[in-house]
A and B are shown apart, each in its own frame.
Chain A
């Protein structure tokens, strides 16, 4: 859980240009506002630079000549100050303007990016989820979007304003005194060198700190989750000692990393004071020998102070921006990821019989469904939805290397109950994954009511199937909403009916708020068995012709299972059912049992036939063989 919180080392984007262009595309919706932003940034930083320059004429022209005068003429001084004030006011207003505009732009752009990211995620094939961890995907929403936000709202504006300030200050310095500027250049070289050196050290040590932190946090997670085991073995002291070692190592790495991070600012700051000292002395010497004047020195010294901050900041900002671009690139890579292909043309429609007894399509909810299949001649043909599923020589592999299903053929007639039995990895779940096209077959064909499923639109295919999975996933929301997930149009009565069917009604009515009880964090307040009951109710409310039960009752004890058997029987009635179960008592009364091993069907038949065969199924059933 803490994994995605750890920030990885700085990764450089692969193709900065392309990423920048993509980002700009988003920003171009705000063209006019952006123009204002850039102008405002320029005005704001130029105002700061220009305002300081006034020190020179004010001192040289209006103050020093007037010293000791009885009635000095201050009108020029006042005009000067008014001019200076208006420049400053303009500067401050510009600062406000660009910051304010950037809020609009950045929040709206991020909203759009987040939305695109999420929408895209819904369209990705399951294959993508197999090869990417949740932590990895989550980090797009947390780390990547976060750094991007920082970059847009602060990084880029500050970088621009910093660069303009540096250029502006530098030009002003050159105008004021080329000789002193030479000294400044020398110091800049030292500063840049320092920033680079310390920056590099910081990065290396931070990487090591993150690695060690990962180890420590991993250990914490493991030991807290296994706390009961630690206790029953009285292992507290050993665990504490081990942790102490890890913790001490982390302390050392972290101290080093933070030392370098901590000393950068004071060193840069004080280097600027070194420069300040040199300029003061050198400037004064120049005034004494008549090569300069006090006003120039005053303005120059003020510029010296203005200079340091942008220099140490720009390099940090630059790193942050590179980092953010790398994040943006990861986001865009996901957005560009290939979507789940759907070339299906066959759709699922409601039908009714017209007065002539012909089948016609209707918008009404008749509960009668048919496949609408366009023919080559432009006409359409309607095929009644029955739930006939056939596998013809299906071969499949997840990664293209290891064959998971090898030439599997079987059929399930409408209303039949087919059980899949075998060890983990034998290919049971894979078969169900192929039926609803979470994955596509490599060789062979699967047909549904005689139509190759490749020709059926995925959404419609899946609508005609309901799945109850081994790990039941609930969503935050009420119990009612969770069951209704199977059919968003279901009335409260229909939901309760489904819950009764699944034998879930009893425990739901005993929850504090009944059906309105709000479940949180994947329904942790419910037991695994109760969650499975809810998942079964969810499938019941969907009311599909084909039902897939993947270890749907594995966490329900045998007695409760016997109790809900009636409900399950009613649920399965008239439907084609694929059932995967660890517990063989669950599959006994199936029409056909397929025993899978290493991706092949090694035995098939009903319970009695298979027992009589005394083969693998018999061994499994009598407990001579361990299912894992």
Chain B
């Protein structure tokens, strides 16, 4: 797992290596300071050598200051490496998601992708930073402190060798027992939060049906479960502190007794005894730290593996680098196409589609919700790939084109219109980065958007919030159409893109299309018959199949579904 993420640390390698090095120096100095202290006591005081005392004292002071600098440098380096790493991983993830096909996105769901790019990265970066400082510090401290203890007095250091394994085992047991309980607690926590969120979103329903009491009861249950799991998890953890104290105090007493006897027997000096006591704290705290790091690493493991999952996801739709860059003509052919979102032959969204659209033709597609209209057109720009059969554009399989060339020539106005935060002009320029103001205005006029844009005080420089929140549905749709027109496409697809536009404007847009886009193949998915009745041909879709193809008049005569749709929209209009 570490191996997979380590390349992202490359750019900050010096810092990632520097931090542990500085920490090591810091630790060694921290260990040496009590040792020097013992020299002051045993040599300086014993010989009443004031000079020696001052010299050693000065040396200790210098060491402490140097250690301080090392510690600060390590902190800085860890921050640089940790945050740099986070940046690289975030960028890599973001770039990867940009490569994702829609199938890839569907697999993870957008919400989960957002969590992976935000929360999971934050978790990982914090753990890395901690690791850079602690993961080295704790073991180095443990090793150095025990080594110097052995050096000073091997026999007395046996105390540490009894306590360390005992503590290590105890901590291990506590952690392994607590960990699943904490996992469970987090789950209950999520459950509680989603209860609240659900209630918040649906508060009108709750109130309208007078279900406050029922909701309270459901919440109470969730909250109580959380309380119980939390209690049982913390009950385990709470033993660490007193255990630690027992170990520490036990060491102190043992050192006092055995060390005291050694001093009396002449095999140890008072200063050495004193330095031993200060090593007790250092050794045991580093042991605790090792335990803590372990827990944190385990917790972050989930985040790390979720990140790696995205990074390693195989891109469903691969760009054809050596692909064709030019469309011969603007024809579209569906050749025996079947498609399934789940890639499952028994669960087809589109079944045996055969359809021929000539260059410059206008084709309407009509059908109920879930009949496969949107899916059908998404295959043209390779947002998804067919399961079997072929989609041909300009006489060539769409998979033979480079994605950029294909998508630059085919303009889609998606059903879920998305505008981005920025000015209207910035949004429109998505269609063509180099579009001149005249071109923009022309496209907006065709999409019947120019007038309402000009009615805003800032005109084309009006700032849109995320998702274009300050526009009405119809206005958003018209902007999206203008944006698509700016691409100057060979083929344009409107996926239910005028549903919120009134019929009069709708027909004006179609008029403009007919005039401006004479040679452009136009595919219109619509709910309203009026939007497609003038098309060269109309495709009626039903349950993933083409039910009929024909002109308005033909279909009215021959197709039951089309007639029903037509009638459902005509009733009562005198």
- Closest chain A residue to B15, Cβ basis: A255
CA distance A538 to B71 in the complex (A): 64
User: Which residues of chain B have C-beta atoms less than 8 A from A265's C-beta?
Assistant: 71, 75
Shortest C-beta distance, B314 to chain A (Å), equals: 17
Residue picked from A55, A62, A251, A626, most chain B C-beta under 10 Å: A626
A122-B502 contact, Cβ under 8 Å, with A100-B235, A278-B57:
no
Q: Is the CB of A85 within 8 A of B253?
A: yes
- Contact string, B369-412, partner A, CB cutoff 8 A, digits 1/0? 11000000000010100000000000000000001100110111
CA distance A85 to B84 in the complex (A): 50
Q: At the interface, yes or no: A628 with Cβ under 8 Å from chain B? A: yes
- Closest chain A residue to B71, Cβ basis: A266
Q: Is the CB of B133 within 8 A of A284?
A: no
A459-B68 contact, Cβ under 8 Å, with A224-B97, A556-B369, A624-B504:
no
- Contact string, B350-369, partner A, CB cutoff 8 A, digits 1/0? 00000000000000000011
Q: Is the CB of A259 within 8 A of B277?
A: no
- Closest chain A residue to B129, Cβ basis: A258
CA distance A107 to B238 in the complex (A): 14
Q: Which of B53, B58, B270 contacts A59 (CB 8 A)?
A: B270
User: Which residues of chain A have C-beta atoms less than 8 A from B211's C-beta?
Assistant: 485, 488
A2-B264 contact, Cβ under 8 Å, with A95-B245, A266-B68:
no
Q: Which of B198, B203, B368, B473 contacts A126 (CB 8 A)?
A: B203
- Contact string, A215-236, partner B, CB cutoff 8 A, digits 1/0? 0111011111111111111111
User: Which residues of chain A have C-beta atoms less than 8 A from B253's C-beta?
Assistant: 81, 84-85, 88
- Closest chain B residue to A272, Cβ basis: B64
Stretch at the interface among B150-158, B167-175, B220-228, B328-336: B220-228
CA distance A341 to B245 in the complex (A): 56
Q: At the interface, yes or no: B201 with Cβ under 8 Å from chain A? A: yes
Q: Which of A260-284 contact B (CB under 8 A)?
A: 261-263, 265-267, 269-271, 273-274, 276-278, 280-282, 284
Q: At the interface, yes or no: A111 with Cβ under 8 Å from chain B? A: yes
- Closest chain A residue to B569, Cβ basis: A558
Q: Which of B40, B50, B223, B277 contacts A280 (CB 8 A)?
A: B40
Shortest C-beta distance, B509 to chain A (Å), equals: 12
CA distance A135 to B194 in the complex (A): 12
Q: Which of A434-459 contact B (CB under 8 A)?
A: 436, 438, 458-459
Q: At the interface, yes or no: A189 with Cβ under 8 Å from chain B? A: no
Q: Is the CB of B48 within 8 A of A288?
A: yes
- Closest chain A residue to B231, Cβ basis: A107
User: Which residues of chain A have C-beta atoms less than 8 A from B83's C-beta?
Assistant: 251, 254-255, 258
- Closest chain B residue to A93, Cβ basis: B242
Q: At the interface, yes or no: A114 with Cβ under 8 Å from chain B? A: yes
Shortest C-beta distance, A358 to chain B (Å), equals: 29
User: Which residues of chain A have C-beta atoms less than 8 A from B117's C-beta?
Assistant: 217, 220, 224
- Closest chain A residue to B567, Cβ basis: A562
Q: At the interface, yes or no: A243 with Cβ under 8 Å from chain B? A: yes
Q: Is the CB of A228 within 8 A of B474?
A: no
Q: At the interface, yes or no: A400 with Cβ under 8 Å from chain B? A: no
- Contact string, B266-310, partner A, CB cutoff 8 A, digits 1/0? 100010011001100100000000000000000000000000000
Shortest C-beta distance, A512 to chain B (Å), equals: 12
Q: Which of A93, A138, A270, A622 contacts B68 (CB 8 A)?
A: A270
Q: Is the CB of B256 within 8 A of A259?
A: no
Q: At the interface, yes or no: A5 with Cβ under 8 Å from chain B? A: yes
Q: At the interface, yes or no: A522 with Cβ under 8 Å from chain B? A: yes
User: Which residues of chain B have C-beta atoms less than 8 A from A229's C-beta?
Assistant: 414, 418, 430
User: Which residues of chain A have C-beta atoms less than 8 A from B278's C-beta?
Assistant: 301-302, 305
Q: At the interface, yes or no: A431 with Cβ under 8 Å from chain B? A: no
Q: Is the CB of B119 within 8 A of A621?
A: no
User: Which residues of chain A have C-beta atoms less than 8 A from B196's C-beta?
Assistant: 118, 137-138, 141
CA distance A89 to B414 in the complex (A): 72
Q: Is the CB of A465 within 8 A of B202?
A: no
User: Which residues of chain A have C-beta atoms less than 8 A from B270's C-beta?
Assistant: 59, 63-64, 294, 298
CA distance A409 to B203 in the complex (A): 28
- Closest chain B residue to A294, Cβ basis: B270
CA distance A585 to B528 in the complex (A): 12
Q: Is the CB of A244 within 8 A of B564?
A: no
Q: Which of A233, A251, A273, A297 contacts B41 (CB 8 A)?
A: A297
Q: Is the CB of A273 within 8 A of B64?
A: yes
User: Which residues of chain A have C-beta atoms less than 8 A from B410's C-beta?
Assistant: 232
Interface range on chain B (Cβ under 8 Å from partner): 35 or more
A274-B569 contact, Cβ under 8 Å, with A232-B414, A623-B502:
no
Q: Which of B261, B404, B568 contacts A561 (CB 8 A)?
A: B568
Q: Is the CB of A244 within 8 A of B487?
A: no
- Closest chain A residue to B208, Cβ basis: A467
Q: Is the CB of A244 within 8 A of B216?
A: no
Q: How many residues of A contact B (CB 8 A)?
A: 161
User: Which residues of chain B have C-beta atoms less than 8 A from A204's C-beta?
Assistant: none
Q: At the interface, yes or no: B207 with Cβ under 8 Å from chain A? A: yes
Q: Is the CB of A288 within 8 A of B198?
A: no
Q: At the interface, yes or no: B348 with Cβ under 8 Å from chain A? A: no
Q: Which of A123, A220, A469 contacts B204 (CB 8 A)?
A: A469
User: Which residues of chain A have C-beta atoms less than 8 A from B408's C-beta?
Assistant: 234
Shortest C-beta distance, A561 to chain B (Å), equals: 7
Shortest C-beta distance, B513 to chain A (Å), equals: 18
Q: Is the CB of A247 within 8 A of B99?
A: no
Shortest C-beta distance, B266 to chain A (Å), equals: 7
A262-B133 contact, Cβ under 8 Å, with A66-B264, A281-B56:
yes
User: Which residues of chain B have C-beta atoms less than 8 A from A240's C-beta?
Assistant: 91, 94-95, 98
- Contact string, A484-509, partner B, CB cutoff 8 A, digits 1/0? 01101000000000000000000000
Q: At the interface, yes or no: A171 with Cβ under 8 Å from chain B? A: no
Q: Is the CB of A475 within 8 A of B202?
A: yes
Q: At the interface, yes or no: B514 with Cβ under 8 Å from chain A? A: no
A228-B383 contact, Cβ under 8 Å, with A96-B242, A266-B74, A627-B502:
yes
Q: Is the CB of A288 within 8 A of B44?
A: yes
Q: At the interface, yes or no: B143 with Cβ under 8 Å from chain A? A: no
User: Which residues of chain A have C-beta atoms less than 8 A from B407's C-beta?
Assistant: 231-234
Q: At the interface, yes or no: B160 with Cβ under 8 Å from chain A? A: no
Q: At the interface, yes or no: A411 with Cβ under 8 Å from chain B? A: no
Q: Is the CB of A92 within 8 A of B487?
A: no
Q: At the interface, yes or no: A463 with Cβ under 8 Å from chain B? A: yes
Shortest C-beta distance, A609 to chain B (Å), equals: 12
Q: Which of A92, A126, A288, A486 contacts B45 (CB 8 A)?
A: A288
- Contact string, B99-114, partner A, CB cutoff 8 A, digits 1/0? 1101001000011011
Q: Is the CB of A298 within 8 A of B274?
A: yes
A262-B76 contact, Cβ under 8 Å, with A107-B230, A488-B214, A559-B565:
yes
User: Which residues of chain A have C-beta atoms less than 8 A from B71's C-beta?
Assistant: 263, 265-267, 269-270
Q: At the interface, yes or no: A18 with Cβ under 8 Å from chain B? A: no
- Contact string, A179-193, partner B, CB cutoff 8 A, digits 1/0? 000000000000000
Q: Is the CB of A558 within 8 A of B568?
A: yes
User: Which residues of chain B have C-beta atoms less than 8 A from A119's C-beta?
Assistant: 216
Q: Which of A111, A129, A226 contacts B420 (CB 8 A)?
A: A226
Q: At the interface, yes or no: A560 with Cβ under 8 Å from chain B? A: yes
- Contact string, A107-120, partner B, CB cutoff 8 A, digits 1/0? 11011001100110
Q: At the interface, yes or no: B205 with Cβ under 8 Å from chain A? A: yes
Q: Which of B75, B86, B242 contacts A262 (CB 8 A)?
A: B75
Q: Is the CB of A5 within 8 A of B119?
A: yes
Q: At the interface, yes or no: A287 with Cβ under 8 Å from chain B? A: yes
16 extra interface residue pairs, beta carbon distance < 8 Å, beyond A67-B263, A118-B219, A273-B63: A58-B260, A84-B252, A107-B234, A126-B204, A137-B200, A138-B197, A231-B383, A232-B410, A270-B65, A273-B33, A273-B60, A277-B57, A285-B53, A436-B208, A473-B198, A559-B568
| Sampled A-B contacts (26; CB under 8 Å) | A2-B114, A5-B119, A88-B249, A88-B253, A89-B249, A93-B242, A103-B235, A108-B227, A141-B192, A217-B114, A221-B114, A223-B94, A228-B414, A228-B416, A247-B87, A247-B94, A250-B87, A263-B75, A267-B68, A271-B68, A273-B67, A302-B277, A485-B211, A486-B209, A589-B572, A623-B530
Query: Which 3 A-B residue pairings sit nearest by Cβ, starting from the closest?
Result: A281-B57, A266-B71, A623-B503
